[in-house]
Amino acid sequence: MTLQAPKGTFDWLPPRSERALAVREALTAPARRAGYGYIETPVFEDTALFVRGVGESTDIVSKEMYTFEDKGGRSITLRPEGTASVVRAVLQHGLHNGQLPVKLWYSGSQFRYERAQKGRYRHFWQVGAEALGSEDPALDAELILLAVDGYAALGLTGVRLLINTLGDRECRPVYRAALQDFLRGLDLDEPTRQRIEINPLRVLDDKRPEVQERLAGAPLVVDHLCGACKAYHEEVRSLLTASGVAYTDDPRLVRGLDYYTRTTFEFVHDGLGSQSAVGGGGRYDGLSEMLGGPALPSVGWALGVDRTVLAMEAEGLFPGDGEQARVQVYGVPLGEEARRRMFLLVTELRRAGLAADMSFGGKGVKGAMKGADRSGASHAVILGERDIAAGTAQVKDLVSGEQAAVPLAEIVMTLKERLDK
């Protein structure tokens, strides 16, 4: 039996894989322009990092992590999200001792053992941006704006921004107590009742319809905010409005990780069905201390590459899945000597900055020209024995059908002039 990719994973294949690369580039470009530097952390970390940082009561830690013991007897986990690893790296290497905020972006694989379905995978790719070491509503607004600009650059029009605040260590305990009192009076299953005592905000994030129905009258955090949190949230909203960013206040929005405080937000797309979230994030002022570091108020987001591709497909932003242009020029050698000459010519074209390929395997002219059509190239270079004797090659415009002999020494310059227009 042929081996298959594990359940909940999939292979990125051309041309869809090229779309994923373009999405990663577009989503991170605004952050790079705003001075965020690239960070790459290990795909696996000590399990304790995620237990302490993400939270024992979360579904991620309690149900979804890929955890194993390595050959040294250490408990290791494939990273289920990126923020905890970034904070760990900042603390380990002392980046927080320099200029603040520390601005970083990343791009990489995450792993969660979830119920596999379209838009929810066990191996998925995220891009993220984090600003660490500053408590400033302008920083929250900046990060949200950078994500908005990334989605806009891709041409997406159906992405909606939901925003909320979760309060801070001063006012959240009052809200937590009120929420617990309300939840204890509901008819809920035992695992959910246990969660009420550990982290009641996680109950609000329960996606089961029967639970959501019972939560209709739950107290809202916005009704329990202290003055400082109210003013902070108003400033974030004001800056977004002044920047022309449309958003919806969602007083029930919480995030699936324990470390969030104050600003929390989510980007959703209605063309994706039940897995509508394409990205999200928020402020996490206490995470550094949870990991043994100093106070380091921070804010960040993670955007799903897989789901963003699905959103773009839902909006019809990609061309049809027919033959996609892989290269600009395709070489058609006819004969052994022509093959050697074409190999050198194609190499020269590539070094000159053109995307070029050639026919391999000694195909005849018919098979080679079929390869040229499938490559999506706009021009073919045909080289036979007579051409070699004359010191020329036939350059064919595959769109118009026009063909002309061009001296071999001038082919690179001729094609550069045509294709750089």
Other CB atoms within 10 A of residue 386 CB: 11
Output the pLDDT for position 256: 59
Same domain, yes or no: 245 and 389: no
The number of distinct structural domains making up the chain is: 2
Same domain, yes or no: 349 and 299: no
Burial environment of residue 231 by CB neighbours within 10 A (0 to 12, 13 to 18, 19 or more)? exposed
Identify the domain boundary among 280, 314, 348: 314
Q: d(Cα 36, Cα 130) in Å, to the nearest integer?
A: 8
Output the pLDDT for position 343: 97
Yes or no: say if 245 and 142 are a contact pair by the CB < 8 Å rule.
no
Q: d(Cα 198, Cα 208) in Å, to the nearest integer?
A: 19
Residue 316 tokens read as 């019809």
The DSSP element (H or E) to which 299 belongs, if any, is strand 298-304
Same domain, yes or no: 258 and 127: yes
Same domain, yes or no: 124 and 239: yes
Looking up residue 396, the CATH number of its domain turns out to be 3.40.50.800
Output the pLDDT for position 320: 62
319 assigned to some structural domain:
no
Output the pLDDT for position 258: 63
Identify the domain containing residue 342 by its residue range.
329-419
Report the phi/psi class of residue 126: left, alpha or beta, with left for phi > 0 and alpha for psi in -120 to 50.
Answer: beta
265 assigned to some structural domain:
yes
Residue 344 tokens read as 């050198």
pTM over 0.85: yes
5 assigned to some structural domain:
no
List, in sequence order, the alpha helices (H) in 205-304: 209-214, 227-242, 287-290
Same domain, yes or no: 239 and 102: yes
Residue 76 tokens read as 């290791």
Yes or no: say if 130 and 83 are a contact pair by the CB < 8 Å rule.
yes
Other CB atoms within 10 A of residue 84 CB: 24
Same domain, yes or no: 308 and 341: no
Other CB atoms within 10 A of residue 375 CB: 23
199 assigned to some structural domain:
no
Output the pLDDT for position 74: 96
Identify the domain boundary among 314, 348, 379: 314
Output the pLDDT for position 48: 94
Yes or no: say if 306 and 357 are a contact pair by the CB < 8 Å rule.
no
Spans of the chain, pLDDT less than 50: none
DSSP 8-state assignment for residue 36: P
Same domain, yes or no: 84 and 27: yes
11 assigned to some structural domain:
no
Same domain, yes or no: 248 and 381: no
Output the pLDDT for position 200: 85
DSSP strand pairing (356-358 vs 298-304): unpaired
Same domain, yes or no: 295 and 335: no
6 assigned to some structural domain:
no
DSSP 183-223: HHTS---HHHHHHHHH-THHHHT---HHHHHHTTT---GGG
194 assigned to some structural domain:
no
Q: d(Cα 201, Cα 68) in Å, to the nearest integer?
A: 29
Same domain, yes or no: 268 and 411: no
Identify the domain boundary among 314, 346, 380: 314
Strand partners, 357: 330
Residue 96 phi, psi (nearest 5): -75, -5
Looking up residue 20, the CATH number of its domain turns out to be 3.30.930.10
Other CB atoms within 10 A of residue 358 CB: 24
Same domain, yes or no: 304 and 359: no
159 assigned to some structural domain:
yes
Same domain, yes or no: 249 and 133: yes
